[in-house]
Amino acid sequence: MLLVSNAVQNAMVGSDSSLLGGIVAAMTLILVNLALTRLVVRHERLAAFLEGEPTLLLRDGRILDGALSREGIRRAELEAAIREHGFKDPGDCRAAILEIDGSISVVGMDDPNHVRRLPPLHHHHRKAGRRGYKPGQ
């Protein structure tokens, strides 16, 4: 939406102040978005490439400093997210996951639904260079 509004604004106040220029710019952005959305829905590998994968930031009360540095998240930001979810400190959490939309999900130690759902920690890098959390593993 921001790109569309910016394109329309440029058409209104820029050198090309025609209505047609604004409509063409807005429609081009909307059509590219629709095409990419359809491709991402049909091709899982393309979706992982464009959108990324969730990343495990905390496991069983231990903050994974390597994951924080790869994702550019400060420890204080993770601790703030943990408090926002109602937990006192990282030791109260089974997992904290950086989701693909940029939000951080936090699972408490006492949550019985997530006790067995965490993936094992691997000490090798995947092809993309990131270790992530894939729900359902």
pLDDT in tens, 49-65: 877 889 999 999 999 99
- Cα angle 105, 98, 53 (rounded to 5 degrees) comes to 125
pLDDT band at 128 (very low <50, low <70, confident <90, very high): very low
* Residue 86 token pair: 């109602």
CB neighbour list of residue 125: distance below 8 Å, 6 or more residues apart:
131
| CATH label, 53-114, candidates 2.30.42.10, 3.30.240.20, 3.90.180.10, 3.90.440.10 | 3.30.240.20
CA distance 39 to 18: 32
pLDDT in tens, 2-45: 667 776 666 656 565 677 777 887 888 889 889 988 988 898 88
